[in-house]
Amino acid sequence: MFWTTAAYAMGTSGQAAQGGEGALASFIPLILMFAVFYFLLIRPQQKRAKEHKQLLSQLKRGDKVITAGGIFGTVVEVQDDKLVLDLGETKITVGRSFVSGFATPPAAPAKGKGKEAGKDSAENKK
C-alpha cells in the first residue's frame, strides 16, 4: 500500500504541462488585492500624513489649535518640537506632533437675522 501511494505521488500531472501559465494565474489575485489595499488604505494615509506635516510646519503664534487629546488652546510660543498653549487661565507645553488641527469656533447665529425673520413672518400673516 505504501508503494502505490508513493508511486502515485511521483507521477506527472496535467499541471506540470502548463508551466508558467499556472504560476501567473495564481499571482493575479494577489496583485489585485495589493492594488486594492494601495488605493483604499495606503494612498489616503500618505495624503493625510502629508497634510498633517504641512499643518505642523505652518503653526505660528496666535493660532487656535486642537490637540489629539481634545484640548483647545491658543499657541503662545513655538519651539522646535514643542508648543506652549494658552488655555485661558493655564498654559501647557505639548509636543508639536500632538496638534491635530486648527480649531474653528462654532458658527454663531447672526444677531440681526433672527429678529428680521420674525418680522417677515409676522408681516406675512397680516
Task: List pLDDT tens digits, range 34-88.
Answer: 999 999 999 999 999 999 999 999 899 999 999 999 999 999 999 889 999 999 9
What is d(CA 89, CA 26) in angstroms, rounded to the nearest whole number?
A: 64
Cα dist from 55 to 20, 24, 45, whole Å: 50, 44, 15
Sheet-wide strand order for 99-102: 91-95, 82-86, 72-78, 64-67, 99-102
- Domain spans of the chain? 20-58, 60-104
Determine contact, residues 84/91, Cβ cutoff 8 Å: yes
CATH architecture of the domain with range 60-104 = Roll (2.30)
| 36 or 19: which leads in pLDDT | 36
| 13 or 77: which leads in pLDDT | 77
pTM above 0.75, yes or no: no
